[in-house]
């Protein structure tokens, strides 16, 4: 059974390509169903948290005494101040900026990282539907960049039935090269694969081919643990732990423009650019012919990035605070 739909908005902005803007909201497309075990003190059933500990002295330190550093050699660190790290954050535009369209089948699955459902807002349904149908018919996907919170992502925008999906991608240098692996070649004759073996393998694969029904596959570990939890609840074998309340926030919106006008301006803009270029070339050629004997052409003169690392920290937090923190991270 699929996870329940979520109407909670994680991010608001707009899809942008050419002069067209589609106001959208992102919703989580997945839900982590792993077992979330909280730490409790067996003696008092009180939540157990983390402390910021100096690994050499073993003493707890204050948050203000912690700085972030990146190791560049064994034992040698470059220390970065909070202001320096903040200056390197990408500029937030609340825009999914499509840079190009690529065949959907050209993207290897290994690059896919995290999916979000994309829904139209602020009367953006028509232009949303237009882009969705174009992508559905063409089997193309928009390759885009988007900043969520303070992190820039490469993303793939594609149609899946009635919904647009924005799938965050791994950057090229995050995907490992497989060339160092001891993989067999692709030449069947050199591998000694016979036609009979290939036919039997195809038949076996064909016999095992079924329709994709995700509800048929479940996590047996989670099911057994949750069954045990239910049995303990029914037997009254529970412990009371006081949980504080958590708060949720929201983000800003985006402006919508007339679809037909923006499409026309985008297309005219490309056409006028080409026309101006051609006319400019003709004018330059005429002027050059008239003044070639008296004039000489003039000559024209020709990130910082950082990663952050930090020790696992946290003052005595309640089990609910830990659960809230983990759920927020998963939602983002």
pLDDT tens over the chain, length 332 residues: 567 777 788 888 888 887 788 888 888 887 777 777 888 888 877 788 888 889 888 888 988 888 888 888 887 888 888 888 888 777 777 889 899 999 999 999 999 999 999 999 988 899 999 999 999 999 999 999 998 888 889 999 999 999 999 999 999 999 998 888 898 999 999 999 999 999 999 999 999 999 988 888 888 888 888 888 888 888 888 877 765 455 444 444 444 445 566 666 777 766 655 555 555 555 555 554 444 444 444 444 334 444 433 334 444 444 444 444 444 444 44
Q: Comparing C-alpha atoms, which of 154, 172, 145, 156 is closest to residue 102?
A: 156
CA distances to 103, 106, 157, 241, 319 from 15, rounded to whole Å, are: 19, 22, 9, 44, 38
Residue 313: per-residue pLDDT? 40
Find the Cα–Cα–Cα–Cα dihedral 103, 26, 322, 66, rounded to 10°.
80
Residue 246: per-residue pLDDT? 53
Residue 291: per-residue pLDDT? 47
The overall longest dimension of the chain from CA atoms, in Å, is 103
- Helix/strand number for the chain, H first, E second: 7, 9
- Whose tokens are 């972030």? That residue is 68
Residue 184: per-residue pLDDT? 93
Work out the number of other CB atoms within 10 angstroms of the CB of residue 131. Answer: 22
SS3 211: coil
Tokens of 46: 């009180």
What are the structural domains, with CATH classification, of the chain?
Answer: 11-173+305-331 (2.40.290.10), 188-234 (no CATH)
Residue 103: per-residue pLDDT? 95
Residue 249: per-residue pLDDT? 46
Q: Is 149 exposed, middle or buried (0-12, 13-18, 19+ CB in 10 A)?
A: exposed
Quote the CA–CA distance of 163 and 51 in Å, as a whole number: 44
Its pTM stands at 0.60
């Amino acid at each position: 059974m699929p996870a329940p739909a979520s109407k909670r908005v994680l991010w608001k902005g707009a899809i942008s390509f050419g002069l067209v803007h589609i106001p959208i909201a992102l919703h989580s497309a997945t839900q982590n169903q792993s077992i979330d075990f909280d730490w409790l003190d067996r003696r008092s059933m009180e939540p157990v948290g983390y402390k910021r500990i100096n690994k050499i002295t073993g003493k707890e330190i204050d948050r203000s005494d912690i700085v972030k550093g990146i190791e560049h050699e064994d034992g040698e660190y470059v220390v970065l101040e909070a202001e320096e790290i903040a200056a390197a954050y990408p500029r937030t535009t609340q825009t999914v900026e499509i840079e190009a369209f690529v065949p959907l089948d050209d993207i290897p699955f290994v690059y896919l990282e995290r999916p979000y459902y994309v829904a139209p807002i602020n009367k953006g349904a028509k232009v949303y539907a237009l882009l969705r149908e174009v992508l559905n018919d063409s089997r193309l996907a928009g390759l885009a960049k988007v900043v969520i919170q303070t992190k820039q992502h490469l993303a793939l925008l594609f149609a899946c039935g009635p919904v647009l999906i924005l799938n965050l991608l791994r950057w090229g240098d995050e995907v490992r090269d497989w060339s160092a692996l001891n993989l067999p070649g692709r030449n069947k004759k050199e591998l000694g694969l016979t036609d009979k073996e290939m036919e039997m393998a195809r038949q076996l694969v064909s016999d095992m081919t079924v329709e994709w029904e995700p509800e048929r596959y479940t996590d047996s570990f989670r099911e057994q643990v949750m069954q045990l939890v239910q049995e303990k609840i029914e037997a009254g074998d529970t412990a009371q732990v006081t949980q504080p309340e958590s708060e949720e926030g929201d983000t800003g919106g985006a402006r919508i423009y007339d679809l037909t006008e923006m499409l026309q301006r985008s297309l005219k803009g490309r056409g006028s650019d080409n026309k101006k270029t051609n006319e400019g070339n003709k004018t330059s050629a005429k002027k050059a012919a008239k003044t070639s004997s008296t004039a000489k052409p003039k000559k024209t003169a020709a990130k910082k990035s950082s990663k952050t690392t930090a020790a696992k920290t946290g003052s005595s937090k309640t089990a609910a605070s830990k659960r809230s923190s983990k759920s927020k991270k998963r939602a983002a």
